[in-house]
Amino acid sequence: MFDRMYTGVMTWSKHPKASWLLSGLSFAESSFFPIPPDVMLAPMSLAQPAKAWRFAALTTLFSVLGGLLGYFIGLFLFEAIEPLLHRSGHYDGYLEARDWFDRWGFWAVFLAGFSPIPYKVFTITAGAAAMALPPFLLASLVGRGARFFLVAGLMRWGGEPMEARIRQNVNLLGWLTVALAAVLYLIFRH
């Protein structure tokens, strides 16, 4: 199962319009889309190591722009989306994010930008909490940039030998990722 997915992603990563797809995914993920841009950034950087830094810069730029959209959604439209958070079971996540803002502000956005924590929750919460825009943008730029340049750098550094190891172990890596996602879901759900 993961072999076909990996082959498909590597094929997409070499497509002439891959940079546009990466930019769109990066923008959407920061405000409403569930799939992180790393799934495109890593294979693109692996397939074209000479362009890894360019891909990381595009991912960072469009992720921060998408985060800005999330911020404005929270700032101007939170009352409209609040019932959706209740219905979807994400309101507790919003309250937890809001608590993080009360305690850590800048560092909450930075951590969400760098880690696998859903960044979009924090962009919307930052707007709903009316966090000052300059620290929000700085935390987003530094957090997202650190994450995406790290991913691109590791792929560039690993090059063809890493690609061969990933291809050889793609099924194991795929199932480990599914297990990790399930554990994280259970942790954040409770």
Report pLDDT digits (tens) over 111-121.
888 887 788 88
Q: Tokens standing for 55?
A: 């891909």
Domain positions in the chain? 2-189
Q: Is 169 helix (H, G, I), strand (E, B) or coil?
A: coil
Phi/psi of residue 34, each to 5°?
A: -85, -15
Angle at 185 between CA 152 and CA 3, to 5 degrees: 50
pLDDT band at 62 (very low <50, low <70, confident <90, very high): very high
Residue whose structure tokens are 């707007």: 127
Instruction: Say what the pLDDT of residue 136 is.
Output: 95
Instruction: Say what the pLDDT of residue 118 is.
Output: 80
Averaged pLDDT score across all residues of the chain: 84
Question: Rounded mean pLDDT of 84-98?
Answer: 83
Interacting residues of 65 by C-beta distance below 8 A, sequence separation 6+: 27, 30
Q: Tokens standing for 72?
A: 């404005």
Residue 88 pLDDT exceeds 90: no
pLDDT in tens, 9-22: 667 777 788 889 88
Angle at 84 between CA 78 and CA 86, to 5 degrees: 100
Report the alpha-carbon distance of residue 187 to residue 32 in Å, rounded. Answer: 21
Torsion of CA 101, 104, 107, 108, to 10 degrees: -30
pTM given for the model: 0.77
Instruction: Say what the pLDDT of residue 40 is.
Output: 84
Least confident of 56-65, 78-87, 167-176: 167-176
The count of other CB atoms within 10 Å of the CB of residue 19 is: 17
